[in-house]
Structure 1
Amino acid sequence: MAIKVKIERSSDGSYWGTTQNVPGVIASDGESINEMKDNLREAVELYLETAKDHDKETYEAYKKGFEFEYDVDISEIFNIFEVINKSVFAKSIGVNPSLFRQYTTSKKQTYISEKRAQEIEDGLHKLGKELLSIKL
């Protein structure tokens, strides 16, 4: 079963993850995304141990295991992964770099259609697959 998690970057550079579809809110932080993910997994496991006695429905829903599904706002993803050049990425998916910068600037949120958001997500997934295929 999937546990949806919203990831945000704090002004001090640390990362926050909060669950979106578990009763109550489970949150964790870390100096890196991986540290935040590890801390969140531990927090969810502790929560489920408590749920065994106090919230049977939640315990039953997740007792066989769970996967995290991470949700990152488009304006945040390029702050979190600063190594990705916005202009070059925009060109690679066929989006005007100036418009793309507007999408990814958190100061002024520009409307982004569902279709365009899907194109960006697909481009990110394609980049991830390409990176995973590299052997050094």
Structure 2
Amino acid sequence: MTKRLAFTTATIYVFDLDHGGSALPADTGPPVGLARRHSRQERIDLTSPVSWATKRSRVRKFDHNERMNLLKAANYSMKEIAAFCFDAIDIRKSRLATLDEIEAKRQARRRKLIHNARRLPQHTADDCPLEQDTKT
């Protein structure tokens, strides 16, 4: 006996763009992500492919100016937007410093391994008792 499960409706929560979120742009500008609360919700009928198949969109990246304009449209003052930019700069600097620390530790471990490998005595076949047994 096979069991089946079918969904007939889905609820879509729509979020506006807002400051922050988990997004921090790699280059410049303030982070823009999703607002904490949804602005509206929609229920769609999954049994009718037309109702949900036409509403596709893509995630996209915004450049510096677009992010600034989005925050202005979300009623943030220029002073607040500037503070967001400075915070983002501090976070980027911190991330770069962490990457530099990780790389420095990796290089130090590598140098130590190379140094220790050079200090090991170099063995020859004459030093190895097993090799001597096979010669006789």
Q: TM-score, normalised by structure 1?
A: 0.25
Structure number with larger C-alpha Rg = 2
Q: TM-score, normalised by structure 2?
A: 0.25
